[in-house]
Amino acid sequence: MGKITGFILMLFLFSACGKETNQVPNVAVNLVGFFSPDQLSALKANGAIFMDGGVAGVIIAYNSLNGYKAYDRCSTVNPENRCAVTLDNAYTVTDPCTGAKYSLLDGTPSKAPAKIALRTYSILVTGNNYQVTN
């Protein structure tokens, strides 16, 4: 009986090992404000703007297919390093620390070593006013 219990205990221990979640820390986000004319121009020209908040900053992205989206800038590859992604174009951002790329359409990884999507925040836009929360 003791061998069976020991075997089951070892099975649980080994099944828990090696499972990295690479989760971006969960921090409170509640950004409320309005888009300045410069920010609106940047959104239309570049597809995204960066703001303070979150773990490594917040990205507000816009495209005609999906409307507004908000993500944390913290890369999901080694999130403990808090490496902030940078804008490539209206559709992708890159982690300058690892070269991982993410889609701004939905935050999903588009180039290794990224395996987990960017942390997504809720965004509500009414006219020039916005609210980003989690």
Q: 23 CB contacts (<8 Å, ≥6 apart)?
A: 76, 79, 116
pLDDT at 105: 95
- Give yes or no for a cis peptide into 113 (omega within 30° of 0): yes
Environment class of 88 (CB within 10 Å of its CB; exposed 0-12, middle 13-18, buried 19+)? middle
pLDDT at 53 over 70: yes
Please state, rounded to an integer, the average pLDDT across all residues of the chain.
88
Q: Which domains does the chain have, with CATH numbers?
A: 23-133 (2.102.10.10)
Q: Write the pLDDT tens digit of every residue in 54-104.
A: 999 999 999 888 899 999 999 999 999 999 999 999 999 999 999 999 999
DSSP3 helix / strand / coil % (the chain, rounded to 5): 20, 35, 45
Predicted local confidence at residue 114, as pLDDT:
97
Confidence of residue 16 (pLDDT cuts 50, 70, 90): very low
90: closest CA among 62, 57, 115, 117? 62
DSSP 64: T
Write down the pTM of the prediction: 0.82
Strands of 86-87's sheet, edge to edge? 86-87, 92-94, 101-103, 109-111
Contact 122, 132 (CB under 8 A): yes
pLDDT of residue 7 exceeding 70: no
Residue 65's pLDDT is what? Answer: 85
Which pLDDT does position 103 carry in this prediction?
Answer: 97
